[in-house]
Amino acid sequence: MAKEIHLYTPLKDEDLEKLKIGDKVLITGTIYTARDAAHKRLVDLIEASKELPFDIKGQIIYFVGPAPARPGMPIGSAGPTTSYRMDPYSPILLDAGLKGMIGKGPRSKEVIDSMIKNKGVYFAAIGGAAVVMSQSIKAAKVIAYEDLGTEAIRELKVESLPCIVANDIYGKDLYEEGVRLNRK
Amino acid sequence: MREININKIVPIVKKLCIDASIYIGDDVVEKLKEFQEKEESPIAKEIISIIFENQKLAVEKKMPLCQDTGVAVFFIELGQDIHLVGGDLYEAINEGVRQGYKEGYLRKSMVDDPIIDRKNTNDNTPAIIYLDMVPGDKIKITLAAKGGGSENMSEVKMMKAADGIEGVIDFVVDRVKRSGGNPCPPIIVGVGLGGNFEQSALLAKKSLLRPLNEKNPDPKWAKVEDEILEKVNNLGIGPQGLGGRTTALAVQILAKPCHIACMPVAVNIQCHVHRHKSAVI
């Protein structure tokens, strides 16, 4: 793996133009969590022309439902969930200004096309490395949909959250390329 | 007849839930090391190193290896010379799950109805419990806590005898190929052959209970396992689906007799956070 790049939220187009698939990035700033149930609610709000519970412009959504925090800790284990389940919703959120997504596993053609159109990036985190990921999360606060439990939307303060660029704004796909290079 | 009070079961189940979430088995660690040495892709080698770091941190910080601490699936082998007293076995297991997931700070991942309400039960119950009656006066409780991401990549297919072993191998390899990076590879591929529709799926799940360093006791199936493993690892999917030679650590087959008209094949995919722990009372 090549260079390590520091990224700060909210993301700007200039930051994303530099990123290529396979780049290792360390993300610092505020990001938001959402899984299946929260995505449905966000998209329902957009379709009803209502305001979202956070300003999505330039932001990153991390597909995660964390484990509960032990006393004195900001969060429990917090690795990525499988991203394809968010594929029906992501293009609508990218159209609304979302710039980054963190998850695991490949995305659909519709999401990749939407990332090209909206200059968005998809970051892969290591599924099952949930304790490692949690070490970069310094604070967590539920900001919407508390009734969803682990699936509520949380605002996370992260420092150097480690990810790999899996889809860049140029339409390249590390999942497709990585497998092609290693197939026998 | 040995008498066992049901209350004895609750703390044992609680401990199984917590321990299985934090401590990975030596068999998984050994296999990961073996594959990391053979791995050619730098990104794949690095991902396996991060998995090792995660296993170490989980123990140090007493945190679950993965935030998805799974559906609590239990296989109970109940000795037929045992008389259970003091309550309901199923309720005791669910109470152990309730206490374990709360006190271990594990994630509650169960929703009450699968389609319409999908409201979280908030205590990770109900557990899924399979009960087998066996000779003797002991109870063996095995927990295989199963995450949703890999479970979603599993499948049952009712094949024809004419498809032959080649057809079965192609189906299993294709199931892994279609799963790609979704089930958190490196994976373990559980394969259930025969029985009927539902038994094939249960066989696939039970096949995952065999330690990864133990060969299939039947050489015929051991050979098929090796063949599938090689084909799967030639797909190039690699750790997390980002490319490499380490797609699966093992393929494990369990086979049973079946009807003359049938050839059921089930594939149950297990992620690298392969939780299974047992206790004997």
Q: How far apart, in whole angstroms, are the C-alpha atoms of residue A71 and residue A80?
A: 23
Q: Are A37 and A146 within 8 A, CB to CB?
A: no
Q: How much is the average pLDDT of B7-34?
A: 98
Through-space distance between the first and last CA atoms of chain A, rounded to whole angstroms: 21
pLDDT category at B16 given cuts 50, 70, 90 is: very high
Mean pLDDT for B243-259 is: 98
Is residue B236 within 8 angstroms of chain A, CB to CB? yes
- Which of the following is catalytic: A39, A99, A104, A154? A39
And the tokens for B80?
């037929």
Q: For chain B, give me the number of helices (H) and strands (E)? A: 8, 10
Contact predicate A136/B53, CB 8 Å: no
Give residue-wise pLDDT tens across range B57-101. 999 999 999 999 999 999 999 999 999 999 999 999 999 999 999
Phi/psi-derived region of residue B194, left when phi > 0, alpha when psi is between -120 and 50, beta in every other case: left
Contact A66 B272 (CB under 8 A): no
pLDDT at A145: 97
Q: What mean pLDDT is reported for chain B? A: 97
**Mutation target among A25, A82, A183 for the B interface, most CBs of B within 10 A:** A82
- Which residues on B lie below 8 Å from A106 (Cβ)? 180-182, 241
Q: Is A6 a catalytic residue?
A: no
User: Which residues, including other chains, have CB under 8 Å from residue B170's CB and lie 6 or more apart?
Assistant: none
For an interface test with A, give the residue of B63, B231, B237 to mutate (most A CBs within 10 A): B63
Portion of chain B with pLDDT greater than 90, in percent: 100
ipTM associated with this complex: 0.95
| Residues of chain A under the 50 pLDDT cut | 1
Predicted local distance difference test score (pLDDT) of residue A184: 87
| A182 and B243 Cβ atoms separated by less than 8 Å | yes
Nearest to B57 among A81, A131, A149 (CB): A131
Q: Which residue has tokens 């380490």?
A: B246
Report domain extents, chain A: 4-182
Q: Which CATH architecture has domain A4-182?
A: Alpha-Beta Barrel (3.20)
> B256: which residues sit within 8 A by CB, 6+ positions away?
B193, B194, B195, B199, B203
Contact B271 A128 (CB under 8 A): yes
- The arithmetic mean of pLDDT across residues B187-204, rounded, is 98
Structure tokens at B114: 């699968």
Strand A100-103 to A60-62 pairing: parallel
pTM higher than the cut 0.80: yes
Q: Does A106 touch chain B (CB under 8 A)?
A: yes
Is B163 exposed, middle or buried, given 0-12, 13-18 or 19+ CB atoms closer than 10 A?
middle
- Choose the mutation target among A77, A102, A161 for the interface with B, i.e. most B CBs under 10 Å: A77
Residue B128: pLDDT above 70? yes
Q: Answer yes or no: are the C-beta atoms of B173 and B231 closer than 8 Å.
A: yes
Mean pLDDT on B134-153: 97
The tokens describing A38, both together, are 């929260």
Residue B180 has pLDDT above 90, yes or no: yes
Hey, is the C-beta of A22 within 8 angstroms of any chain B C-beta? Answer: yes
Task: Tell me which chain B residues have a C-beta less than 8 angstroms from the C-beta of A167.
Answer: none
B121: confidence class by pLDDT, cuts 50, 70, 90: very high
- CB contact at 8 A, B102 and B20: no
Q: How far is the alpha carbon of A71 from chain B, nearest alpha carbon, in Å?
A: 10
Q: How many CB atoms are closer than 10 A to CB B277?
A: 18
Closest residue in B to A132 (Cα) is: B54
Contact A77 B241 (CB under 8 A): no
